[in-house]
Structure 1
Amino acid sequence: MRKEGEATGRRYVEFLRVPTMSAGVYALPADGTDPQQPHAEDELYIVIAGRATVRVGGESRPVGPGSIVYVPAEMPHRFTDITEDLQVAVVFSPPESRPTGSPS
């Protein structure tokens, strides 16, 4: 998935869309900036690779491979302090309402 996103210049590549959810892979480079804005959907992030800090609302915590992060709908959130290329599986429920290609 990541190579496809890199080839098209997209940070996010959706691989599943059904009536109750959508899912994809989100990639950010080390030292990169996460441009996300709050989403209308609940989200679940599963860190596949890399290390960073995630800020959800007013709380921050380090994340790495295997970390799971829940973000309620409309909650401000973003990855910061990305020290290793970050690759994250993202599940939206209900399906993301923004156009495919960017979770931001």
Structure 2
Amino acid sequence: IRNLSRLMDRPVALQERVFTRLFESAEIAKFTREQYEEYEDSLKAYRDWQNTIHTAVMKSLQEGIAQGREEGRKEERLKLARKFKASGIPVSIIAENTGLTEKEIADL
């Protein structure tokens, strides 16, 4: 494996993914101890950044889903309030049952 990195061009038969990983491993195997430690440090930093980005994306996604659900709930309450108001139900009762303010209901 240590001498695989000396090949200039890989034969077509060895260009599959499994062989690509093998050749990458051969490149790493010829590193000096110092180069290997630098490689591991950079790999750790890369993985840390990837995890940080993934966490931020997931948090944003969860916040967006929660916000969308809340907007949907509010829209449903407004829809019900419109129906109740059209039916002649008093604003105070609509407000009590929908959680909307009397001003919000009056603005419908």
TM-score by structure 2 length?
A: 0.19
Between Structure 1 and Structure 2, the one with more strand by share is: 1
Between Structure 1 and Structure 2, the one with more helix by share is: 2
Larger relative contact order (CA 8 Å, sep ≥ 6): 1
Answer with 1 or 2: which has the greater Rg: 2
